[in-house]
Structure 1
Amino acid sequence: MKLDLDRYVPGLLLWLSNKMAGSASVLYRARFELGVTDWRVLSYFEIYEWSTASQACELMGLDKAAVSRSVAMLKDNGWLKSRPSGLRKVEYATTATGKKLHDRMIKLAIAREEALLTGFTKQERENLVRYLHRLLGNLDAVRAVGRDED
C-alpha cells in the first residue's frame, strides 16, 4: 500500500502548515526581526494575558524549548512582562510596546489569511473552520491509535 499524497489529509495539513510558517518566518524576520514562533508566543500572551509558557505550549502544541527561547527574547526586548504565580510558575502578558508590535504584526497575519482563503465563499470559510475544529477534537482518538499494539 502507498500513500496518495494528494489525498492524505495529515500530509496536506503538514505541507500547508510548513509552507505558511516558513514564508511567515521570512516575512516577520525581515519586517519585525521576529520568527513565526516568536509571533505565535507574542500573540498567545496578547490573547491569554497572565498565563504560563506551559499553557502556551499545551494549547499551541509547540516545543517547550522553542517557547522558552521566545519568551526570554520577547521579555528581554520589553514586549512581555512577567509575574510570579505560586512556587515555580511565572505568568506573562504583553507590555504596552508588545501590544503595539502585536497590532502591527496582526495586520500582516490577517492579510496573509485573506490571501490563503482567496476564492472561498463566506460559507466555505465557516465550514473550513468548523472542520478544522472537528479535526482538533479528534486528536485524542489519533493519539490512542496503536497504543495497545506492539
Structure 2
Amino acid sequence: MLSHREQRPSAPIPPEAVTTPLAETIDPENFTPRLLALLSNALVWRESHELQRRYGLGTNDWRVISAAAIRPGTSAAEVSEFLVLNKAVISKSVNTLVERGLLVLIDGPRRSRPMYLTRAGVEMHDAMLPISMRGQEIILSDLSEDDICRLNHLLRRMLEKTRELQMLENEAQV
C-alpha cells in the first residue's frame, strides 16, 4: 500500500500547489496541545462507545447526569456554563434524559427550569460512573499522589490562562 506521500493523484497537481513538507512545522510527537487533544479524544471515544453500548446514552448525556448529580436544581444554562458546552447540545441531552425518565424539570424563578435526577437517574448515574472513572484511572495510573496534585494544579492554571486569553481576544475583536 502506498503512503499518503506516494499516492498518485487522479488529477494533475496545479502549479500553485505546494508538494513538499514545509521547513518549519510542529513536531506532532512532541506538540503538547496535540497530545492532550489525542488523549482527550481517545478517552471520550472509549467512554462514549461504552455508554452507548451499555445504556444507549452518550458522553454528553452522561455529562448532564453528572452535573445534575453534583448540582441538583441546576438549569440547562448553568450546566452549559459548567461543562463549557453549547446550549443546544445540553438541550438535546436534557430532552433525551427527560424522555427516558432519568431527569425531571420543574418551573423555577425567572422562567428557569431547575433539573433533578429521578431515582432511575440516580441509578443510571451510579451505573455510568465507573465507566467515566476508568478514564481517570488511565490518566493517573503512572502518577504519584504528588504528581496528581501538581498535574491538576497545572491543568487548572492552564485552563485559567486560556480563559484569560479568550477574554482578551474577544475584547480585541470588539
Bigger proportion of residues as strand: 1
Q: One-letter code of the match for 2:172?
A: D
The Cα RMSD (Å) is 1.8
Aligned positions, number: 149
Q: Deviations over 1:84-106 (max 9, x none)?
A: 11232111011111011101111
What corresponds to 1:148 in structure 2? 172
Change over 3 Å in CA distance of 1:13–1:145 after alignment to 2 = farther
Q: Is the 8 A contact 2:50 2:131 kept in 1?
A: no
What corresponds to 2:99 in structure 1? 76
Matches within 5 A, 1:111-130: 111-130=134-153
1:48 and 2:71 are equivalent in the alignment: yes
> What's the TM-score, normalizing by structure 2?
0.78
What corresponds to 1:17 in structure 2? 40
Percent identical among aligned pairs is: 27
Q: Is the 8 A contact 2:76 2:94 kept in 1?
A: yes
The one of 31, 34, 50 equivalent to 2:57 is 34
* Greater Rg over alpha carbons, structure: 2
Q: Is the 8 A contact 2:80 2:86 kept in 1?
A: yes
Q: Return the alpha-carbon distance in structure 1 between the equivalents of residues 30 and 114 of structure 2.
A: 42
Unaligned runs of 5+ in 2: 1-23
Deviates more, 1:116-125 or 1:29-38: 116-125
What corresponds to 2:4 in structure 1? none
> What's the TM-score, normalizing by structure 1?
0.89
Q: Return the alpha-carbon distance in structure 2 between the equivalents of residues 93 and 115 of structure 1.
A: 30
